Amino acid sequence: MEVSWKGVYPAITTKFAGNDELDKDSYLKNLEFQLEAGIDGIILGGSLGEASTLTNEEKDQLIRWTKDAVGDRIPVIMNIAEQSTREAMNAAARAEALGADGLMLLPPMRYKADGMETVRYFKQVAHSITLPIVLYNNPVDYGILITIDMFRELEEVENIKAVKESTRDISNVTRMRNAFGNRFNVLTGVDPLALESLLMGADGWIAGLVCAFPRETVAIYRLVQAGRYDEARTIYQWFLPLLELDISPKLVQNIKLAESMVGLGSEYVREPRLPLTGDERKTVISVIEKALEARPVLPDYLNL
């Protein structure tokens, strides 16, 4: 299925049961709710999906379940986050063979590669498969900045199509446009900067709190595209305290707690992560409860 690299793409959480096994029923329930809300694609096994704790077999299972569930309704994107070029190429090949429609590719994990090494890594993986790729530019969490000069070297790689812009610098949306026009689609990857990035011309939103609040997330995107900025801003102002839960080291626990409170998942995480406790838990619950009490009535955003 062709990937447009536009719209809302949830970085969906991986659901676990109490025995630490994948929870298929919970996962598919959340996925169907996302589809009903109008998402445009889905990202599997990302940071929010606890990628570092998943086995290769579990990642493969997520692709199978998702492709079976969504059919041709939306593209399925698999995250690739590996420590070596060889393993990244192997993971990319497995995803392609299982029917993934695209990849989200992170720089090398653990080793802080320099610019030359990072560009070569991206090229090697991209040339090893035919799937379209969105690069994940997140120097805050992963220590490697993909610079404009590096993108210039990658411009020739036809299946590198987009960037998940998570540098925390909204101006990078404009820098990418100034440097490359529409060669690379730009998707914002920082929830609390999403509206600002969309207003600056980002093509889409790879989102986190969408896992618990898909309708509000898609509504903001659709309203911006329709030029109904005041309505989008009103929803976003309500949403912001929730969206800020996405930029915490415990974003997985935060968002899974939110999912559990709206009936779209559980708090089960895979160790070494543990569910929130004490004052930390009370603070997050308070944020979610306040948001639920004031949850806005949405316009008919699916028919804009």
Mean pLDDT along residues 97-112: 96
Mean pLDDT along residues 85-92: 98
Q: How far apart are CA 70 and CA 12, in angstroms?
A: 14
pLDDT on residue 249 = 95
Mean pLDDT along residues 270-290: 98
pLDDT on residue 220 = 98
pLDDT on residue 100 = 98
Q: Where are the domains of the chain?
A: 7-217
Query: Which residues, 6 or more positions from 298, have their beta carbon under 8 angstroms from its beta carbon?
Result: 215, 216, 219, 235
The number of helices, as runs of H, and strands, as runs of E, in the chain is: 12, 8
Q: Which tokens go with 163?
A: 């960037």
User: Average pLDDT of the chain?
Assistant: 97
Whether the Cβ atoms of residue 290 and residue 87 lie closer than 8 Å to each other: no
Q: Which CATH number fits domain 7-217: 3.20.20.70, 3.40.50.2300, 3.40.50.261, 3.40.50.150?
A: 3.20.20.70
115-127 helix and 85-97 helix, angle to the nearest 10 degrees: 30
- In the chain, what percentage of residues exceed pLDDT 70? 100
Q: How far apart are CA 243 and CA 196, in angstroms?
A: 13
- Range 77-102 burial, b when 16+ CB lie within 10 A, else e: bbbbbbeebebbbbbbebbbebebbb
pLDDT, tens digit, 9 for 90 and up, residues 37-55: 999 999 999 999 999 999 9
- In the chain, what percentage of residues exceed pLDDT 90? 100
DSSP H helical segments within 98-187, as ranges? 115-127, 139-142, 148-154, 171-180
Percent of residues in the chain assigned helix, strand, coil, to nearest 5: 50, 10, 40
Mean pLDDT along residues 154-178: 97
pLDDT, tens digit, 9 for 90 and up, residues 181-212: 999 999 999 999 999 999 999 999 999 999 99
pTM tops 0.85, yes or no: yes
Mean pLDDT along residues 126-144: 97
